[in-house]
A = this chain, B = another copy of it.
């Protein structure tokens, strides 16, 4: 699999940059339910010309915390200097103190919250990144992934560029730095012209706040306004937290330049039909966010309702897998008339890992994050609803937990189609051979999970729940390759990988 090559390459780079952070390593016996979830790599936020720029950015990042929990950073500009604070951990743990915000003076700020794909998050990779360019300072952060990032990286290194971090974001820094154009905006567009993939950039110079969304709008980016000042961010929930007004989404392929002169919109390249990532609706966006004009919670209820119509079942209670399955379960319950009940209690205090120090304890089937609410489940026919199945390991444990609690029948309903293909646009996923639906047929999955019945929403059902008449096979309305294998752009790095990647580590001289 070419995918794993890419990952190995990244790791090789990483090794020499490990720094003062000792990542919490996973014990063999450790429980890690997060490993069975998909992860968005990032949330971004930027505000121009507001007296509370850094504080607003911290609050915005807090609202985007579901998009990345491993690290966060803010860069502010005070009219003369750039100030940077980057930390491993949650926004609320690192950017909630007055003294941190006071170290970020100025009226403009951008920020980033990040989920890290590799075992060891390192501070160097935490965004925003910064470079002193000939035109002055430039800070930038990014949600997404470049599908020609490694190819560009190799070309730039051959040309004498020095990489300090391993993120794709650094590619854009180098491209901007090396552009021969004079004006900063032209340099930035020059750089955008060379990259491929799914991305939403938010950058800042000493004069401007700048945003850019990829030509298909795979990754989200919205414009907000607070007291006449512009904000760029990944989701509307980051506007709501600070009472900002949602203005509009950044258009596909649009570059937005915000300065004291207002907002300038540039469409530098020929326009294409939008194809946003369908996982934003199904999975990533916060339920209260508005994506493409639609309330995410409402869409997920609608998916649940559609699922109830597509795969009805006679049962006593609808039980959501908390919290991911809650909205779809409510929709399922409404549509089916089966009562909605909390058959599983979630422990919100759980960290990512917990010991299971001995075989004895391991075999107890320890329930750190979820526990059965036996009184609801015992003797009942239950419809278990979740938003997706990734590896299936957690789902299987939850089903077993329902059985142990006395469930008479367990019918599993999934609010997304089977996930079968890897992503290259910024979603952190297990390797393809770890994806349950890539390994098994529906029947095999049913047996593996131990359920009485199993159903996924159909791809057309999903499109319909999102308000489309169905999937347009010629010009699909959404990015949905993880279900269909239909990638929206060429994956340049994959093509060039196998032959060349090892040469990077072999010395020439």
Name A residues whose Cβ lies closer than 8 Å to a Cβ of B.
Answer: 12-13, 15-20, 27, 51-52, 55-56, 58-59, 62-63, 65-66, 69, 75, 80-87, 90-93, 96-98, 101-103, 123-124, 130-137, 139, 157-164, 170, 173-174, 177-179, 182-187, 205-208, 237, 240-243, 286-288, 290, 295, 297-298, 323, 326-327, 330, 334, 339-342, 345, 347-351, 353-358, 360-361, 364-368, 371-376, 504-509
Contacts and interface: CB of A to CB of B under 8 A. Distances in A.
A397 to B, nearest CB: 13
Given A59-B361, A91-B349, 10 more contacts: A20-B20, A20-B86, A98-B357, A134-B160, A161-B177, A162-B164, A205-B509, A295-B374, A295-B376, A326-B342
B16 A355 contact: no
Contacts of A505: 80-81, 136-137, 206
Contacts of A58: 355
A9 to B, nearest CB: 11
A342 B59 contact: no
A295 B51 contact: no
Q: 6 tightest CB-CB pairs across the interface, nearest first?
A: A295-B375, A184-B509, A160-B178, A136-B507, A16-B82, A135-B508
B162 A173 contact: yes
Nearest to A178: B160
Given A90-B349, A242-B361, A355 B96 contact: yes
Given A98-B27, A177-B162, A375 B298 contact: yes
Given A20-B123, A63-B347, A162-B162, A55 B178 contact: no
A227 to B, nearest CB: 8
A55 B83 CA distance: 35
Contacts of A368: 59, 62, 92, 241
How many copies altogether? 4
A357 B298 CA distance: 34
A206 B163 contact: no
Contacts of A62: 347, 349-350, 354, 368
Contacts of A347: 62-63, 65
Given A59-B361, A83-B15, A355-B98, A177 B160 contact: yes
A430 to B, nearest CB: 23
A135 B506 CA distance: 7
A237 B237 CA distance: 34
20 contacts: A18-B103, A55-B358, A62-B349, A62-B350, A63-B347, A92-B354, A93-B351, A97-B355, A133-B157, A136-B505, A160-B178, A160-B179, A184-B507, A207-B509, A242-B361, A243-B364, A290-B375, A295-B375, A326-B342, A348-B348
A286 B174 contact: no
A361 B84 contact: no
A184 B186 CA distance: 35
A31 to B, nearest CB: 9
Contacts of A345: 237, 286-288, 297
Of the candidates A135, A136, A288, the one having the most CB atoms from chain B within 10 angstroms of its own CB is A288
A54 to B, nearest CB: 8
A360 B19 contact: no
A131 B13 CA distance: 10
Contact of A69 (B87, B295, B341, B349): B349
Contacts of A243: 364-366
A509 B372 contact: no
Nearest to A208: B509
B84 A183 contact: no
Contact of A162 (B174, B326, B356, B374): B174
